[in-house]
A and B are shown apart, each in its own frame.
Chain A
Amino acid sequence: MKTLRIALWTTAAAAAVVLVAALLYVTVGSKAGSIGGPFRLRSATGELVDSVSLKGKPYAIFFGFTHCPEICPTTMMDMAALMARLGDEAKGLRIFFVSVDPDRDTPAVLRDYLAAFEPHVVGLTGTPDEIAQVAKEFRVYYRKVRLTGDDYTMDHSAFVYLMGSDGNFFDVLGYQEAPDRALAKLKRLIETDRKGSAL
């Protein structure tokens, strides 16, 4: 009996380790993983922004929605503050806010919403299919959750993905990551531009 119990516990522990590893892989990804890929969206001002046109310059990309009371404005505030701290170094680094709620976040709504974070943040939107595509490429989870009546909110991944000038995934900023650590990551990201694709 004792042996069986040990065997069961060992199996359970191994399963837990595998599960945690899988979760980490899915949510954070690995540096060698394939976060990012082909996508095609429109900026809030109507300009076409796709993975091809973005190649050659580093960028940061976040997925949110305007009916988001906390995470989204806070993250955009943090990004704007980091860009201000970077000053001239921030030139050439673009920050994108992709709406995972294209039904309500029209280009006009996004433009107004992001005006508070100008000139640092560019809003991106697209058709529901285009949003699904870009979310899949970045392994972003989002889901509509009903509230009362016709209201709904969105569950969504709250990471900021940093993409190098070679178009590859570089690093990730967690929600409210310590500003100094986030700043250091952005500086390294900008370095990828200077060094070209040699990481």
Chain B
Amino acid sequence: MKSMLTSAVLAAVLAGATTAASAGGITLAHPWSRATPAGAPVGAGYVTLENSGSTADRLVSATTDAADHAEIHEMAMNNGVMQMRPVKEIEIPAGKRVELRPGGYHVMFMGLKHQLKVGDAVKGSLTFEKAGTLPVEFKVEAMGAGADRASGQGAH
């Protein structure tokens, strides 16, 4: 309940701030997502987590309004095989940043309630061990966005 309250208060304070949110040394920079094909049951949220504090913090859970639930996953390519695994937490060392991005860590939206279209905002929250729960709004970009070499459109 406390985290929900914190989340609500922060959401109110930070309403409209889509590019960055911060609390307890953790800043969320450029939260974004990708448009999904029609009927796709899953989507992914990406964001850069910056820890300006003097101690390490950990991202431990995520929520989203756009899907049944959200999980923290890591993707990897091993010998041409795509593997995706849930992770319990992502550590952000003091003074460091950790990027959730295509090909690595991401917030997985499980059971999308609707198709994600370019320009949409996916609301949710990220909960950290120390910084608590931060509201986040993932801005939906094009389906191929952020893929370094995709479609010859250059890096994101």
A:84-143 near B, CB below 8 Å: 104, 109, 112-117, 141
The answer to whether the Cβ of A6 comes within 8 Å of any Cβ in the partner chain is no
The segment out of A10-18, A53-61, A149-157, A189-197 that lies at the interface is A149-157
The answer on a CB contact under 8 Å between B81 and A69 is: no
Q: Does any Cβ of A come within 8 Å of B38's Cβ?
A: yes
Contacts of A71 in B (CB 8 A): 75, 82
A113 to B38, CA, bound (A): 5
Number of residues on chain B facing chain A (CB within 8 A): 35
**Interface SS of chain A: helix, strand, loop or mixed?**
mixed
Closest Cβ–Cβ distance, residue B154 to chain A (whole Å): 11
Q: Is A159 an interface residue (CB 8 A)?
A: yes
B16: CB under 8 A from chain A?
no
In the complex, B144 has a CB within 8 A of chain A: yes
Contact A77 B151 (CB under 8 A): yes
Chain A: residues with Cβ within 8 Å of the partner, total of 42
A70 touches B102 (CB 8 A): yes
**Interface assignment of A176: CB less than 8 Å from any CB of chain B:** yes
Query: Is A145 part of the contact surface with B, judged by Cβ < 8 Å?
Result: yes
Q: Which residue of A lies closest to B144 (CB)?
A: A77
Q: Please provide the 5 A-B residue pairs with the shortest distance between their CB atoms, ordered closest to farther.
A: A112-B39, A81-B151, A116-B37, A69-B44, A77-B144
Question: Can you show 18 pairs from A to B with CB atoms below 8 A apart?
Answer: A23-B79, A26-B79, A28-B80, A71-B75, A73-B36, A74-B150, A77-B143, A112-B37, A112-B38, A112-B39, A113-B38, A113-B39, A113-B40, A147-B110, A155-B81, A157-B81, A158-B82, A176-B149
